[in-house]
Each structure stands twice: as structure tokens, then as C-alpha cells.
Amino acid sequence: MVFTEPRSLNGLSLLSLGDDQWIYFPSTGRVRKIAGRSKNESVQGVGGDFSYEDLSAGDWLEKYEFAIIDENRRTWTLSGNPRKDSSYSRIEVTIDKRRWQVIRVLYWQNGQAPVKELIMDDFKNIGGREVATVTTMANLEKGSKTIITTTDAEWNPPLNDARFSPHRFWK
């Protein structure tokens, strides 16, 4: 993930490969590996309500064991318990049946109430796929929220394996 806006963050990059993550700071030219204990922290240099774990790539089916806990004519709601180390003790995912898209995620950290809520909204067709163009993460404990707007996306571009190495950041 490469940040392009606001201009002060232009070029800040986050690389996720399996359970490993690195962040590149263009202002200093430094790359930092994210320690496992830091994955629940806000992305350094960016702030906001998304943690490193929230932004990491990965397969939820690999990370969580799910069970359907509610269904109505428009949505399914699934409860997910972590299969491996996670910042969250449980997540709850709501899926739109018509779109087959995640529209809401609640995150728990060993408490009775969720600590975060992710809302996926304003779905548009980009490159032949329906994509949520507005993603809002609300920190329910702090009363804050961070919004990510997607204006463009590319699917299945030709890739070079070197792109998925933190060494690509070093000049």
C-alpha cells in the first residue's frame, strides 16, 4: 500500500508479506520492520484509526475460524475467532448477500464491547469489479474515525517478485 494523499504522506509505503510487515518512510529513506507486538498500533507517521494489522494483506479464512451468527434477507453476519496470533480476540463480519461484499466489521480486544468498527460504503465498478470506494474505521473507545477513499484500482497487473521485498525501498 502506497499513500499518495495528503501530500505530507506521499510515498509512505506499507508492505505486507504473510505475517511480516515493513514500512518505508520517504522523508528519511528508512525501512522499518513492524514487530508483532506493534501490529495493533496506529500506522507510524500516519496516525489515524487503522492499525498495521488492519491494513495488512491476508486471508481472513486463514486468520479466523468463522461461524454464521445471524442472517436476514439482505445480510449474513459471521463471528470470527483467531486461529493464530491477532490483536483482536474476535471479529464480526457482515456481508451483503446481493454484492457478496463485506460491508461492516466489528473488532473486539478481550472486552464485552467492540473497540473498532469498519464500514465499507459507496460501491462502484472499477476495472470490472465492484469496490467499496469509501472505507471508514471508527475507534469506538476514542470516538475518532479515519476515512480512506479509493479512486482507482488495478487488477492482475504484471508483477515482478522484487516488488514484494523490503529491499526494493533501499536505494
pLDDT tens track for 21-62: 777 777 787 787 776 554 555 555 555 787 767 776 467 888
Residues 83 and 134 in one domain: yes
d(CA 163, CA 73): 43
* 69 and 45 assigned to the same domain: no
pLDDT per position as a tens digit, 106-125: 999 988 999 999 999 999 99
Determine the pLDDT at residue 168. 64
pTM value > 0.85 = no
Contacts of 157 (CB under 8 A, 6+ apart): none
What percentage of the chain carries pLDDT values higher than 90?
40
pLDDT score, position 60: 81
Q: Which residue in 105, 130, 132, 101 sits closest to 116, CA to CA?
A: 105
Q: Which range of residues forms the domain containing residue 85?
A: 59-155
CATH of the domain at 93: 2.50.20.10
**Nearest alpha-carbon partner for 62 in 88, 82, 46, 47:** 82
Name the pLDDT band for 163 (thresholds 50, 70, 90): low
Could you report the per-residue pLDDT of 54-74, keeping only the tens digit for each? 776 467 888 899 999 999 999
Average pLDDT over residues 159-166: 68
Least confident of 49-58, 78-87, 133-142: 49-58
Rounded average pLDDT over 126-134: 91
118 and 73 share one domain: yes
Same domain for 93 and 43, yes or no, is no
Same domain assignment for residues 15 and 89: no
